[in-house]
Amino acid sequence: MGYIVETKHLTKAFNKHKAVENVHLNIQKGDIYGFLGPNGAGKSTTIRMLLGLTYPTSGDIRIFGQDLKQNRIKILHHVGSLVENPSYYPHLTAYENLEVVRKVLQVPKERISAVLQLVRLKHVADKKVKGFSLGMKQRLGIAAALLHQPKLLILDEPTNGLDPEGIIEIRTLMKNLANQGITILVSSHMLSEIEQVATTIGVIVKGKLIYQNNMSELRKLAKSRIRLRVSDMFQAQKLIRGMVKDEWLYTKSQTDQEVAQLIAKLVQHDISIYRVEEEKRSLESIYLQMVNGANKQ
Ligand code: ADP
């Protein structure tokens, strides 16, 4: 299947420092692609390259199946974005702010009320933006990005600095937009902010994409595991073909029956069992482990 966004060997160096290195992004149609990584990981630089705001040092970018270098104007005509804090005129109303953008984009007037409806700001259309909360301003920025009915929407940390309510608003909005067939790339440094909406996750650390898979695969990693502490870890490991990590013996067994059989086997071989635990890993801890692992390298 063709990708909406596909990068190959994408690299950006500032002097000698590689802010983005050899990144292969694969974003499918209809995806809400959660682009995760700690501050300074290279998310914004990648996004700026996708938007043609800065040029790659090397590598290729294809959007809608076309090379960005050769079809920049045509491609960007179908891309909406919110990067950095949206700029607006505080003394103008929400409607008037969108009217300014609408004139530049030359789209029909009806689009203004359509996008205000989408981002749920219609009731404050005639209120001055200076009184808006940060969340409302972000949504106004997204409304502006949607005026020309893009097929791809790129949001760089849209939930940064928002309160929980604001985060939920943006989340709901992304879901609605995805339901309408818009593909979304959204960056964040917190998995918890996007795990409920993302269909695919890409993790970037120190410029390198260290993980890219769909959400269901990531969730599988978060499945609980049974772990043991026994008198003879070495022999027990051989007997049950487990894995020893941090002084725990991890088993592959999942069902009660499998665990019972495994314990019986250990007892038969005179191994004392001190502890049997179910270890649950949260998605956030898996993400942090990935980031910490990559940071150590
Ligand atoms: P993120 O968006 O994940 O926080 P960035 O893409 O902003 O990360 O930054 C990645 C790295 O590139 C950082 O080390 C940052 O200091 C560096 N960087 C970003 N833009 C520039 C620039 N214009 N000049 C020099 N270094 C830059």
- Has residue 222 got a pLDDT over 90? no
- Has residue 297 got a pLDDT over 80? no
Instruction: Of 183, 219, 151, 220, give the one whose Cα is nearest residue 35.
Output: 183
Are 194 and 36 spatial neighbours (Cβ–Cβ below 8 Å)?
yes
Q: What is the mean pLDDT of the chain?
A: 93
Highest mean pLDDT: which of 132-146, 234-248, 280-294? Answer: 132-146
Distance of CA 257 from the midpoint of ligand 1 (Å): 52
Q: In sequence order, what DSSP letters do the residues of 119-186 get, joined into one string?
A: TT-GGGTTSBGGG--HHHHHHHHHHHHHTT--SEEEESSTTTT--HHHHHHHHHHHHHHHHTT-EEEE
Tokens matching residue 94: 């929400």
Rounded to two decimals, what is the model's pTM? 0.86
Could you tell me if the CB of 42 is within 6 A of ligand 1?
yes
Q: State the pLDDT at residue 92.
A: 97
Q: Look at the block and give the residue holding tokens 């269901």.
A: 216
**Looking at ligand 1, which atom is closest to the CA of residue 37?**
3
Nearest-CA residue for ligand 1 atom 25 is 14
pLDDT tens column, 82-125:
997 778 999 999 999 999 999 999 999 999 999 999 999 999 99
State mean pLDDT over 132-146.
94
Q: State the pLDDT at residue 279.
A: 85
Distance of CA 42 from the midpoint of ligand 1 (Å): 6
Nearest-CA residue for ligand 1 atom 5 is 42
pLDDT tens column, 157-206:
999 888 899 999 999 999 999 999 999 999 999 898 889 899 999 999 99
- 3-state helix, strand and coil shares in percent for the chain, rounded to the nearest 5: 40, 25, 35
User: In sequence order, which residues have a C-beta less than 8 Å from that of residue 19 and are 6 or more positions away?
Assistant: 12, 13, 42, 45, 207
Q: State the pLDDT at residue 1.
A: 59
Distance of CA 39 from the midpoint of ligand 1 (Å): 9
Residue scoring higher pLDDT (206 or 252): 206
Q: State the pLDDT at residue 15.
A: 92
Could you tell me if the CB of 291 is within 6 A of ligand 1?
no
Distance of CA 168 from the midpoint of ligand 1 (Å): 28
- Has residue 251 got a pLDDT over 70? yes
What number of CA atoms fall less than 13 Å from residue 99's CA on the CB side? 8
Could you tell me if the CB of 14 is within 6 A of ligand 1?
yes
Distance of CA 12 from the midpoint of ligand 1 (Å): 10
Q: What SS3 state is found at 7?
A: strand
Could you tell me if the CB of 19 is within 6 A of ligand 1?
yes
- Has residue 209 got a pLDDT over 90? yes
Could you tell me if the CB of 41 is within 6 A of ligand 1?
yes
